[in-house]
A and B are shown apart, each in its own frame.
Chain A
Amino acid sequence: MPVNLNHKPLDIKPAQPGVIPPCPVAIDALKSIPRQQTNPSRREGDGWQAFVTELASKGITIEEFKSARSLYVTDAGGMAYGLPCGVLIARTTEMVAEVMKAAQKHSVPVTVRGGGLTTEGETVSFGGLQLDMRGMSRVLAIDKDSLTVRCEAGIYWHSLAESLRRHKLDYLSAPLNMTASVGGTLGVGGIDINSPRLGCSADQALALKIVTPTGEIMECSESENTWWFNRVLLGYGQFGIITEATMRIRPYTPLTMHYFYYGDLRTAMEDLVMLCDEDASDYTGILTMLDRAVNLLVAFDSDEREKAFFAKWRSRLRGFGELGFALHTGLYYALRPWKFREALYLLDRKRTLLPELQPSHHMQNDKIVDRTVVFSQAVWKFWGGRQMVIPDLATSREKFFEAVLRGNEVCKKYFPHYTLYCVGIKLIGPAERYELSCIPPDAEGIAYGCEFEPMLEGKTYSRDHLQAFKNEIYDIGVDMGTSYYRFGGMMKGYIRRVFGDEVVDKHLAMKREVDPAMVLNRDVIF
């Protein structure tokens, strides 16, 4: 009998319910070595046919055609590739519950996906079922009096905004990416440039309908099934699937946006921290172009807040306006003609990027009317690509400067151009909710995050190069004891190294208790 060398089996025992098999990639793999998930237990197919048959008997049809499965081969990161055995577009909470009951019974892994905006393969299936939650995208109720919305969790934030805007309402905070889903965001946190005031998106949630890993349907909130509420929010899909969410909303307002430019990263960070500490603006964050060109964005929902900012805080900011920065930078490069390429790059950025951030059809009376559309379109146009590498560090206030400056040096080693995106995150939820999450354990009152986003600019980089870059950023987190917004998937080895055995084992024990067959988003965190 011919031996197919391409399918030489690894010496790994199949998973038993509740038992995590050894991972063939050591959690403390060498620095700069790609940590791709290769755990064959994820591909276990023994129970697959019985799983499909049982669901079919209940009127739930799993798509097993290549054309359906091929849609899900990777996530936004484009670094992890896998293929599910089948796909199901979720339509009702009851359907999701039936899926989880059958998945437990037949030990079939279920990988849940909303917008698929993960970059470490967290939403990529390696066998098992891909559950696409976007089939549940309805807005169920808008309460204008209590300013709340109830929606299905697969809905994109953008689609939610479309509905809310018809009623002159808006959500509070959501990622600056239109194709993030509500459920996915609540499960990981969700950061916006208003997070220094309003906290992460997960903290907007007032109540959730969830399906537990064993298929129970449950309503939970701060006052009902609280344990579940705090485990599912920022729980990375380990403890349940969010199918509906009730969230706080607000009256819609256009924004007044101001940009301040710095020639020095640390100074900009200090001003960002000052603005966050003193609640000086409604929105703020840092976007860098070069070390010498750092942009501090400050925005306001109301004219009153804007006036107060200019009266009290503007004079304390050390950044320039556009004209002042142009003169300052022009002089700098005039005295350093050998840096002309850098100057040309900056000019090109100014010419191409800045108009995209203020398109006339999204402006009204000098206010920006659709900030997420504008920023999201710019993000995809200038930073998007078939591969996206965005390692990050989430730190306490005290560790913020060192972490960012160290990360910045790593970026320089790997890429000619890159962007840092720094933002504060007010901590308004209970501490229990933030345990083992992107919120660093030592953060008090506010946390800070920094994404390190290389501009790939159409160049081809090897996977090793990109992975080595990510690892080196993540290694700073291990060294300094920070956390990460990208949390799990290919970088899950870092979770145990950063948080330690005690915390991880505590959560693993909870996971085993609620998900005996360990099927829900298997291998993503544990």
Chain B
Amino acid sequence: MKKKTPYYQPQPGATDPSQCNGCGVCMLSCPIWHQHHTKALTYCGRTRALIGGADEEDLAPAARGCILCGSCEPLCPMGIRTQQTTIRLRKNLSARGFLPKPMTHPHTHEAGKASSHIVIPGRQLRANAPLAAAVLAFLGQKAGLHSDDGYDLLLTLESGQELNDVRLEGYITALAGAAEIIVADGLLFNVLRSLLPSSVKVKTLGQALLSNQSVRAGLKPTDLYMIETRAYNAHRREFVKVYDALRQETGCMMNLDLQRVATPTGAASMQHREGLATIISIEEQVKWLLEGRNPERIVVESLDDYEAFRTHTKLPIVHLAEVAKP
């Protein structure tokens, strides 16, 4: 296993959260701030409260409410790794009984073919066989669906439980021999990027599909292109150039705000996937994403976003794998 600090651990060289200067820049892109305008519910609010003398347990409702979309992560001028410290806070609170235990999801292996180019499709894409086939068709003969979506790992991570090292190591070891891994889930992408050796190319599903010219050619200026937020925001420095070039090439609208942070629908969060209590209204997010934009079509990288728009708009929605021009 690569000797790197995992994504979900505080990174070496990152600024200690106690150095937060309270500038609030991270709040500006936070969907929870946008919906509630309550600083206490944001990353900035949690950190400033701790610095100001609050106890960790006072922050449990705010820690539970975060959807880990990563919007705050690229914005901190002090270099604080907000996602990792939120996960650490959840771990501390969970260990002390201030956060509920998540539902258990035993990992399941389904039949898949061994391949040097592995696609980890996630539960929704796997369940949509025609779309999964379309994705594989774009990615070429070498690509094959991986049998393990790692959903149990993601749920454990997101809910602040201790990861099972044996399970995690087994999961990584099974992937370490691949040449390329294409991951649909943004959080899993972040984890794999940090744990797999650099010899393994880890790509998002959007990144992989957009490398196909016919997919890019299928995008129109009247499209609202929904970037998968968790991977983008965690690697904004790398991805901002890719998507900026795509926007200039195709003219399509994107779910990027003025700070070039990807705005989420919130549908990929544990709270929504698992039907838990949430403080984010997906309907409000969809409304905000569409305000003043008037797209003719929504193009999504993530099927979580597909569901969000399908439920709350009447606009046509397509997955990126479906837009290609022949």
Contact = CB atoms under 8 A, between A and B. Distances in A.
A179 B49 contact: no
A218 to B, nearest CB: 24
Nearest to A364: B248
A338 interface: no
Interface string A54-75: 0000000000011111111110
Contacts of A17: none
Interface string A113-151: 001100000000000000010111100000000000000
Interface string B284-308: 0000000111000000000000000
A136 B38 CA distance: 10
A253 interface: no
A66 B53 contact: yes
A380 B25 contact: yes
Given A134-B39, A135-B37, A166 B291 contact: yes
A385 interface: yes
Interface string A176-197: 0011000000000000000000
Of A68, A71, A154, chain B has the most CB atoms within 10 Å of the CB of A71
Contacts of B21: 76, 78, 380, 384-386, 388
B272 interface: no
A341 interface: no
Contact of B23 (A69, A154, A384): A384
B77 A381 contact: yes
A162 interface: yes
Nearest to A115: B24
B28 A76 contact: no
Interface string A353-368: 0000000111010000
B58 A376 contact: no
A69 B19 CA distance: 19
Given A89-B38, A135-B38, A154-B37, A71 B52 contact: yes
A163 B291 contact: yes
A70 B52 CA distance: 5
A401 B260 CA distance: 40
Contacts of A373: 258-259
Nearest to B59: A67
Contact of A362 (B19, B48, B78, B260): B260
B244 interface: yes
Contacts of A384: 21, 23, 77-78
Contact of A361 (B58, B59, B78, B244): B244
A132 B258 contact: no
Contact of B22 (A76, A136, A156): A76
Contact of A73 (B19, B52, B293): B52
Interface string A154-186: 101011011101110000000000110000000
Contacts of A221: none
A399 B21 CA distance: 34
Contacts of A137: 37
A135 B258 CA distance: 21
Contacts of B24: 115-116, 179
Contact of A360 (B34, B40, B244, B258): B244
B256 to A, nearest CB: 9
A381 B48 CA distance: 18
A167 B293 CA distance: 8
Contacts of B169: none
Interface residues on chain B, size class: 35 or more
A69 B45 CA distance: 11
A32 interface: no
Of B37, B58, B240, chain A has the most CB atoms within 10 Å of the CB of B37
A402 interface: no
B260 A73 contact: no
A370 interface: yes
B216 to A, nearest CB: 18
Contacts of A162: 257-258
A230 B222 CA distance: 45
B23 A76 contact: yes
A329 interface: no
A377 interface: yes
B165 interface: no
Interface in A309-360: 360
A369 to B, nearest CB: 9
A115 B28 CA distance: 11
B39 A376 contact: no
B39 A361 contact: no
Contacts of B45: 71
Contacts of A156: 28
Contacts of A360: 241, 244
A361 B260 contact: yes
A497 to B, nearest CB: 31
Contact of A67 (B23, B49, B241): B49
A71 B241 contact: no
Contacts of A380: 21, 23, 25, 77
A71 B48 contact: yes
A165 B52 CA distance: 36
Nearest to A158: B28
B258 A158 contact: yes
B37 A73 contact: no
Given A166-B292, A167-B292, A373-B258, A67 B58 contact: yes
B95 interface: no
Nearest to A167: B292
Given A385-B21, A386-B21, A71 B40 contact: yes
Nearest to B78: A384
B244 A67 contact: no
A156 B27 CA distance: 11
A362 B240 CA distance: 10
A383 to B, nearest CB: 10
A183 to B, nearest CB: 13
Contacts of B54: 66-67, 70
Of B40, B59, B291, chain A has the most CB atoms within 10 Å of the CB of B40
Contacts of A161: 258
A35 to B, nearest CB: 23
Interface in A17-70: 65-70
A179 B23 contact: yes
B58 to A, nearest CB: 3
A132 B48 CA distance: 15
Contacts of B291: 163, 166
Contacts of A132: 39
Contacts of A66: 53-55, 58
Nearest to B48: A71
Contact of B25 (A68, A163, A178, A361): A178
Interface of A: 65-74, 76, 78, 89, 115-116, 132, 134-137, 154, 156, 158-159, 161-163, 165-167, 178-179, 360-362, 364, 370, 373, 376-377, 380-381, 384-386, 388
29 contacts: A65-B58, A66-B55, A66-B58, A67-B54, A68-B49, A69-B52, A70-B48, A70-B51, A70-B52, A70-B53, A70-B54, A71-B48, A71-B49, A73-B51, A74-B22, A89-B38, A132-B39, A135-B38, A154-B37, A162-B257, A166-B292, A166-B293, A179-B28, A360-B244, A380-B21, A380-B77, A381-B77, A384-B23, A386-B21
Interface of B: 19-25, 27-28, 34, 37-40, 45, 48-49, 51-55, 58-59, 75, 77-78, 240-241, 244, 248, 257-260, 291-293
Given A158-B28, A179-B27, 8 more contacts: A66-B58, A70-B48, A71-B39, A73-B51, A74-B52, A162-B258, A179-B25, A384-B23
- A-B interface, 9 closest residue pairs, ranked by CB to CB distance from nearest: A166-B292, A70-B52, A67-B58, A67-B54, A380-B77, A381-B77, A179-B24, A73-B52, A70-B54
